[in-house]
Structure formats: structure tokens, C-alpha cells
Amino acid sequence: MTKVLLNDLTVRDGNQSLLATRMAKEDIIALVEALDKVGYNAMEVWGGATFDASLRFLSENPWEILREIRKAAKNTKLSMLLRGQNLVGYRHYDNDTLERFIRLAIENGIDIIRVFDALNDLRNIEYSMKFIKKYGGHCQAAISYTVSPVHTEAYFVDLVKKMADLGADSICIKDMAGILMPDAAYSLVKALKAVTDLPINVHSHTTAGLTHLVMLRAMEAGADMVDTVISPFSGGTSHIAGETIIETAKNMGIEVDYNEEALDAAYELADKIAQKYIDNGLYKARALVVNPKILQYEVPGGMLSNLMSQLQDQKMFHKFTEVLKEIPKVRKDMGYPPLVTPLSQMVGTQAVLNVISGERYKMIPNEIKVYLRGGYGKSPAPVDEDIRKKILKDEVVEERGEISSMPPVYEESKKEMEEKLGREALEEEVLSYIMNPQQAVLKPKEATEAKKPVSAATEKTEVVEFEMIIER
């Protein structure tokens, strides 16, 4: 009998996809305590947008949340999502910052770090992989799965071979938009199994309504691990329910380790917590609606729910479908980057601005300019030169320098932060400040005030507001 391991992503990706990462700390800890007894291979509890949201919207210290999660999880390995050289921010950081962050994450309780790059540019994850291994973490290298003329099965197989050479401990097929087709999942898992002995983990959002079939075919092909959430936080832009996978695996004759009584108890708790967020409006019913059009738009689950919230906040929800149609056009112009953080936010923001301004590329976020200069890495396919010229004019684009040449910013940032705090800053506080300089030094009351929406009174304000909301 074959066996499959289950990972639970409820308090990270379920939270991010359905609640725009607004789950309160007390609910996170309560869920972790309950889920810890089920028997999962690992629980993904940190990273992604949780770090940013803790500071920006919840007025909580993300490092303290991690420590409390570690205390609550006595039986289960903890995992996190890391954006390679972007860490949990939205630009490249120097290697000193990168190493400090990874060391502290592992010291504070993370066992497994799933690391990916939005462009599948391995230069952007090689140092992360090195530091994860250096400090004793399990390095799960993730391919950002997408579909385009250049993203073939052979492309992904070659990518995984290189990840294995860099020292990966396991591989994740990260289907952030839920666009992986069932037969493609079977074929890709089989192809990866033929070239590596590393465990294969399949991650697929349920946005398009395909994930039950995708996971069934992936398990048939020999997938070692699959990502799930507890059922009250499943479906729509989130993930498949662990309960569904358990029954599917049992029906297929595949062994799954779990404690049925603990799973039932976790369900009861999760159901009550979900109802609380339904009652206060944070749990968006629209995010649960299956959207097969995602196969065309390729928008990841976490981005889709936040895009809905953003347009509602700006009283522009009637532009939602128009924005979705614009996203693949922008993606093609940009050389088919996979739509995952931070590229999903950048492409999504540009699409929003194209629609609300009534003219394509009239307003340009600075991040798009940095991308076109090669600041985020190499685009999978060539960028549309007419678009590049319209945005950058006659600017000469130079080859990106080596990441290792980026100067350390820690000591300078520490000094800046201490001047604002009026006291000595902890290492974790400085790292928070480097990635979130405004939110990391706000007092709770000030942080609450900072959460209030800003009217898009000018073109500049409008760009900042849209970037801020989409990125969470």
C-alpha cells in the first residue's frame, strides 16, 4: 500500500485566501492547538502575507506570533513560505538580511522553509537554500507553476533537476492560481519522479474547481505530500479540505495517518471561528464561488480575494471583470511571469491602473519599472519591446549585478530604528523595520489609525493605495 502525507495550511494560506490574512492571533493559536493533534506531516503557519499583515493590519509582532505558535504545536513540524531573495517583502534584500531572517525563523520554531521565486529564476533562491541548510532547516524548493508558451513540462523538469543540485530536501509543485489540470498533474509528478528521488509535494488552490481531480491524479502518479486546509476554510480561492483528501486516499487504497477524533474536534473549532468571520464580513462569500475563468486569468487565490476587497473599498467593484481580463494582457506584455508574489501584485496593480485610468500604461508603479530593468530577475519570455520603450523611454537597461554585491543595510537600519524608538532595537525588530519601515515602529493606536483607507485624491495617492492593498 502506498502512503501520502498531509500538510495543513489553514492558518497561513487558508487565512490569506479567504480572510485577506486578517485572522486574529487568538484564533490562530487556538486552531494550531487543535490541528496539532490531527497527525499532519507539517502545518504551514507563517510567511507569505502573514508577516506584513501582522504589522500593517493586526498591530501584532509576527515573531511573537511565531513563538506562540511553536509553543502551541507540540507534535507537528512547522513550515513557512519564503519568497527567496524577497524574504516576506516585495523587493530584493541583501544576503546579510536574508541570512539573519532565516536563522531567526528557524531559531523561533520553523522546521521547513518552502522557498520559491516568482520568476523561477534560481539566482533568487540559491542563497536562501544555502542559509536554510546552514541553520538546519528542511529546504523545500518550490516551482511557481504557470501556463504559457514557455512553461512546458520539460521546462519544469529541468528546473527541478537544478533545484536538486542546489541541495533541495523536497520539491513543491506550487499551483498558486489553481490552473494545474488533472492530467498535467499526473504527467508532471511522473516526470519529476523519473528524475529525482526527492519527495514531491503538490499545492493547488481550488479557485477553478479542479483540485479534487488534480490531487486524485497526483496521488495516482505517486505524489508524496499534498496540501490541505480544514474544511470550514476550504474551497473557492483557498485549498481542498483535508477531510476530502483523507476519504479520497482511503478509497484509492492509499494510507493516510490521522487521528479521527482530533480531526472532528478541529473541525468543530474551525467551524465556530469561520462563522465569526462570516458574521463580521471578513470571510468573503464571493471568494468561495468557483471561477473557471481563472484558467484564463491565472490569478492566485490570495490575490483574488484581496483584489475583490480593494475594488469594493474603492467603490469600483463593477470594474472587477474588466480588471481580470486585463491581467493576462499585462502578463503577456511583461514576458509571461508566473502570477505569484510579488509579480502577481505588480501585474495586478498595473492591470487595475490600466483600467481605472482608461489608458494602458498611463500610470506606472515603480516596481514595474524596476522589473523592466531586470531588478527582479530574468523574465521567462522576452518583454514586449514597445511596452518597455513606452515605460522606460530611451533608458539603457544594464545587466543586473550579482546579489552578493548588494551592501548590508542592517547596521544603518538598526541606527535609524533606535532613533525612532528611543531605545535599543532587537535583531528581529530591525528585520521587521527593513521590510516594513513604517509599520514596524508604530504604536498600537497609531497603527490602528494607519489602517484607515486613504482617498485616492491624486494620481500618486491612487497608485500608492492600490499597491498597498493588493500586496497583502
Least confident of 105-109, 335-339, 392-396: 392-396
Top mean pLDDT of 214-218, 345-349, 358-362 is at: 214-218
What digits encode the pLDDT tens for the residues 214-228? 999 999 999 999 999
Looking at the structure, do residues 125 and 246 belong to the same domain, yes or no?
yes
Is it the case that residue 467 has pLDDT exceeding 60?
no
More confident residue, 446 or 318: 318
What digits encode the pLDDT tens for the residues 30-70? 999 999 999 999 999 999 999 999 998 999 999 999 999 99
For residue 249, being part of any structural domain is answered with: yes
Around Cβ 339, how many Cβ atoms within 10 Å?
26
Is the CB of residue 28 less than 8 Å from the CB of residue 71?
no
pLDDT of residue 274: 96
pLDDT of residue 113: 98
Cα radius of gyration (the chain): 21
Count of alpha carbons within 13 Å of 167, Cβ hemisphere only?
Answer: 14
pLDDT of residue 312: 79
Centroid of chain to Cα 72: 23
pLDDT of residue 314: 75
Looking at the structure, do residues 202 and 243 belong to the same domain, yes or no?
yes
For residue 471, being part of any structural domain is answered with: no
Q: Residue 150: helix, strand or coil by DSSP?
A: coil
What digits encode the pLDDT tens for the residues 425-449? 999 999 999 999 888 775 543 444 4
Q: Looking at the 3D structure of the chain, how many domains does it have? A: 3
For residue 469, being part of any structural domain is answered with: no
Distance CA 150, CA 238 (A): 27
What digits encode the pLDDT tens for the residues 256-289? 999 999 999 999 999 999 999 999 988 877 677 7
pLDDT of residue 301: 58
Mean pLDDT of 302-321: 76
Q: Cell numbers for 132, please give them.
A: 536554510
Question: What confidence tier does 189 reach under pLDDT thresholds 50, 70, 90?
Answer: very high
State which residues form the domain around 440. Answer: 408-445
Angle at alpha carbon of residue 126, lines to 472 and 330, rounded to 5°: 45
Is it the case that residue 465 has pLDDT exceeding 90?
no
Q: Cell numbers for 238, please give them.
A: 483557498
Least confident of 25-39, 52-66, 188-202, 342-356: 342-356
% of the chain residues with pLDDT over 90: 71
What digits encode the pLDDT tens for the residues 226-257? 999 999 999 988 999 999 999 999 999 999 99
177 to 74, 269, 322, 418: CA distances (angstroms): 32, 28, 18, 41
% of the chain residues with pLDDT over 70: 90
pLDDT of residue 50: 93
Looking at the structure, do residues 33 and 67 belong to the same domain, yes or no?
yes
Looking at the structure, do residues 267 and 360 belong to the same domain, yes or no?
no
Distance CA 339, CA 299 (A): 6
Is it the case that residue 120 has pLDDT exceeding 90?
yes
Top mean pLDDT of 210-214, 291-295, 336-340, 374-378 is at: 210-214
More confident residue, 453 or 17: 17
Tell me whether strands 138-144 and 77-82 are parallel, antiparallel or unpaired.
unpaired
Is it the case that residue 124 has pLDDT exceeding 90?
yes
What digits encode the pLDDT tens for the residues 364-373? 999 999 999 9
For residue 35, being part of any structural domain is answered with: yes
Looking at the structure, do residues 55 and 191 belong to the same domain, yes or no?
yes
Looking at the structure, do residues 363 and 273 belong to the same domain, yes or no?
no
Distance CA 142, CA 139 (A): 9
Rounded to two decimals, the pTM is 0.88
Residue 245 belongs to a domain with what CATH number?
3.20.20.70
Q: Cell numbers for 312, please give them.
A: 469594493
Looking at the structure, do residues 256 and 303 belong to the same domain, yes or no?
no
Question: What confidence tier does 305 reach under pLDDT thresholds 50, 70, 90?
Answer: low
Centroid of chain to Cα 126: 18
More confident residue, 306 or 435: 435
Q: Print the SS3 string covering 401-439.
A: CCHHHCCCCHHHHHHHHHHHHCCCCCHHHHHHHHHCCCH
For residue 459, being part of any structural domain is answered with: no
One-letter amino acid for residue 296 of the chain:
Q
Is it the case that residue 453 has pLDDT exceeding 70?
no
For residue 353, being part of any structural domain is answered with: yes
Question: Cell numbers 495516482 correspond to what residue?
Answer: 220
Cis, bond preceding 444 (omega within 30 deg of 0): no
Looking at the structure, do residues 197 and 243 belong to the same domain, yes or no?
yes
**What DSSP line would sit under 85-123, residue for residue?**
GGTTSSS---HHHHHHHHHHHHHTT--EEEE--TT--GG
For residue 451, being part of any structural domain is answered with: no
Looking at the structure, do residues 249 and 158 belong to the same domain, yes or no?
yes
Residue 364 belongs to a domain with what CATH number?
1.10.472.90
173 to 145, 154, 156, 170: CA distances (angstroms): 6, 14, 9, 10
Q: Cell numbers for 7, please give them.
A: 500538510
pLDDT of residue 357: 86
Question: Cell numbers 531588478 correspond to what residue?
Answer: 375
Looking at the structure, do residues 383 and 418 belong to the same domain, yes or no?
no
Mean pLDDT of the chain: 89
Least confident of 15-29, 65-79, 191-205, 259-273: 15-29
Residue 309 burial (C-beta neighbours within 10 Å; 0-12, 13-18, 19+): buried
Looking at the structure, do residues 351 and 429 belong to the same domain, yes or no?
no
For residue 468, being part of any structural domain is answered with: no
